[in-house]
């Protein structure tokens, strides 16, 4: 009985494929009929496309990569770029810690992490466009 069901399902699937073929007269087309599955480059639009194009050129327009190392002192704080007047920052205070301390960083002087005391400073950043 199960084999009869599988045969029937296979026949229905073959019939549906014949209806979708270009010379079968069907209106539905598969993604592969145009030459394969589209790549990320073909599908990306807007901000995603802009970031992909910049990454190819070796740029980081939205500061998505890890920042350069800084001492984290009041004189040499970690610089955090932002297009706004504030940004949320996550600090992993100890190297082997699995806890992230989150806090708001506001424009102005350097601020300290409430847990470890590392200093962070918000710097203005312009968008690429």
pLDDT in tens, 56-93: 888 776 666 666 677 788 899 988 888 889 999 999 88
Q: Do 22 and 50 share a structural domain?
A: no
Residue 51 domain-assigned? yes
Q: Which residues pair with 112 in a beta bridge?
A: 119
Whether 84 and 110 map to the same domain: the answer is: yes
Tell me the CATH number at 98: 2.60.11.10
Residue 116 domain boundaries: 78-124
pLDDT digits (tens, 9 = 90+) for 20-50: 555 554 555 555 556 788 888 889 998 888 8
* In a shared domain, residues 20 and 43: no
* Structural domains counted in the chain: 3
Residues 86 and 109 in one domain: yes
Q: Using 50, 70 and 90 to split pLDDT, how confident is the model at 125?
A: confident
State the DSSP string of 73-94: SSSSPEEEEESSSEEEEEE--S
In this structure, the answer to whether residues 86 and 120 fall within a common structural domain is: yes
Average pLDDT, the chain: 77
Residue 52 has pLDDT above 90, yes or no: no
**Contact predicate 123/108, CB 8 Å:** no
């Amino acid at each position: 009985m199960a084999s009869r069901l599988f045969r029937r399902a296979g026949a229905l699937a073959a019939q549906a494929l014949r209806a979708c073929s270009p010379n079968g007269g069907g209106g539905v087309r598969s993604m592969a009929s145009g030459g394969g599955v589209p790549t990320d480059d073909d599908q990306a639009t807007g901000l995603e496309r802009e970031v992909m194009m910049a990454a190819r050129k070796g740029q980081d327009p939205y500061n998505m990569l890890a920042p350069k190392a800084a001492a984290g002192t009041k004189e040499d704080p970690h610089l955090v770029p932002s297009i706004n007047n504030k940004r949320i920052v996550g600090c992993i205070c100890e190297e082997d810690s699995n806890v992230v301390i989150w806090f708001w960083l506001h424009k102005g002087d350097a601020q300290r992490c409430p847990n470890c005391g590392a200093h962070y400073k918000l710097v203005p950043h312009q968008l690429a466009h």
